[in-house]
C-alpha cells in the first residue's frame, strides 16, 4: 500500500475518482498531481454560477445576509428562492459548509456538507445542485449520499438514530422538486460494509488502470496527461451541454469566488 494512502481521509471525491477511473485516483491521491481543470463557454458559466450560489447559501445560513446580487438576475432569483424555501428559525441550528471526519473500523472518512440543519429530533443534510435538470433518483445510491449519511449517523456527531437522519438534494432552478433520501439502521449497516469493501479494494491494489469509458474522460483535468489532448482540442470536441455529466465536474473547489 502506498504510504500516501495510510494518511488519506476518504472523501466522496476520492471514492468517485476511484470508481470513475483508478488512474485519476492515483494521479491525485498518490502522486499528488493537481492538474488545473480549465473549461470555457457555457460550461465555465455553469461552474461559476454554482460556486457563487454555494457562497450565497453559506452567507444566508450563517445569518450574515446574502444579498443583494446586482447585475446577476439569475443568481438573484436563485437566492430569493433559497430564502423563501429556507427561512431561518430559532428552532433549528444551521451549519453551512460543515466538515466532518470520522475514524471507525479502520475507515478514515471525510465529508464536507453544504448544509446541516439540526432540529430537536432530526438532522437533515442539504446538498445544492445548480445544473439544468432536477435532482435525479440515481443520486440516492451515489457514493456521496451513502458516505454522507453513513458518516453523520455513525461518527458520534449526532446521537440520534439513523432513522432521524435524511439527505435532501435541492436545486434553485427547480425549487419544488427536491430529492429526499431517508435513512435507516439497516441501510447504515449496508453502507458501512460497502465502504469497508471499497476502501479495502483501494488499499490493496497495485494496479491503477485508466477507465475504458470515454464519457468519464471528457471533463477530467488529467485528460491532457492521459490523451495528450490540449484544451483547444477538448473545446472543439465538447458534447452538447445537456449530455454533460455534471457529477463528473462537481469536485471543483467552491473557492475563490468574487461576488459583485
Q: Which domains does the chain have, with CATH numbers?
A: 3-14+31-212+225-249 (3.90.320)
- From CA 249, how far away is CA 85, in angstroms rounded? 27
| Secondary structure (H, E, C), 74-128 | HHHHHHHHHHHHCCCCCCCEEEEEEEEEEEECCEEEEEEEEEEEECCCCEEEEEE
- Residue 74's alpha-carbon distances to 18, 113, 126, 146, 249, in angstroms, are 35, 24, 21, 32, 21
- From CA 39, how far away is CA 219, in angstroms rounded? 8
pTM: 0.87
Residue 212's pLDDT is what?
85
pLDDT in tens, 152-208: 999 999 999 999 999 999 999 999 999 999 999 999 999 999 999 999 999 999 889
- From CA 202, how far away is CA 122, in angstroms rounded? 34
Region 128-152 average pLDDT: 93
- The per-residue pLDDT of the chain, averaged, comes to 85
pLDDT in tens, 88-102: 999 999 999 999 999
- Residue 246's alpha-carbon distances to 56, 133, 199, in angstroms, are 20, 10, 24
More confident residue, 215 or 258: 215
Cβ-contact 163, 188 below 8 angstroms: no
Amino acid at each position: 500500500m502506498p504510504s500516501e494512502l495510510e494518511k488519506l481521509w476518504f472523501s466522496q471525491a476520492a471514492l468517485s475518482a476511484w470508481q470513475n477511473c483508478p488512474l485519476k485516483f492515483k494521479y491525485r491521491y498518490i502522486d499528488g498531481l493537481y492538474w488545473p481543470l480549465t473549461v470555457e463557454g457555457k460550461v465555465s458559466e455553469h461552474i461559476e454560477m454554482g460556486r457563487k450560489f454555494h457562497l450565497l447559501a453559506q452567507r444566508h445560513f450563517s445569518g450574515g445576509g446574502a444579498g443583494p446580487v446586482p447585475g446577476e438576475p439569475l443568481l438573484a432569483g436563485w437566492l430569493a428562492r433559497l430564502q423563501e424555501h429556507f427561512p431561518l428559525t430559532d428552532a433549528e441550528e444551521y451549519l453551512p459548509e460543515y466538515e466532518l471526519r470520522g475514524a471507525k473500523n479502520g475507515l478514515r472518512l471525510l465529508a464536507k456538507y453544504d448544509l446541516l440543519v439540526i432540529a430537536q429530533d432530526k438532522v437533515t443534510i442539504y446538498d445544492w445542485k445548480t445544473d439544468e435538470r432536477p435532482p435525479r433518483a440515481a443520486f440516492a445510491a451515489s457514493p456521496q449520499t451513502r458516505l454522507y449519511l453513513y458518516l453523520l449517523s455513525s461518527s458520534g456527531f449526532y446521537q440520534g438514530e439513523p432513522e432521524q437522519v435524511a439527505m435532501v438534494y435541492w436545486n434553485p432552478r427547480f425549487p419544488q422538486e427536491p430529492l429526499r433520501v431517508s435513512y435507516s439502521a439497516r441501510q447504515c449497516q449496508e453502507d458501512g460494509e460497502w465502504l469497508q469493501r471499497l476502501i479495502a479494494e483501494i488499499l490493496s491494489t497495485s494496479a491503477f488502470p485508466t477507465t475504458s469509458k470515454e464519457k468519464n474522460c471528457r471533463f477530467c483535468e488529467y485528460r491532457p496527461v492521459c490523451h495528450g489532448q490540449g484544451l483547444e482540442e477538448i473545446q472543439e470536441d465538447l458534447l452538447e451541454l445537456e449530455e454533460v455529466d455534471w457529477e463528473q465536474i462537481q469536485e471543483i473547489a467552491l473557492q475563490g469566488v468574487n461576488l459583485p
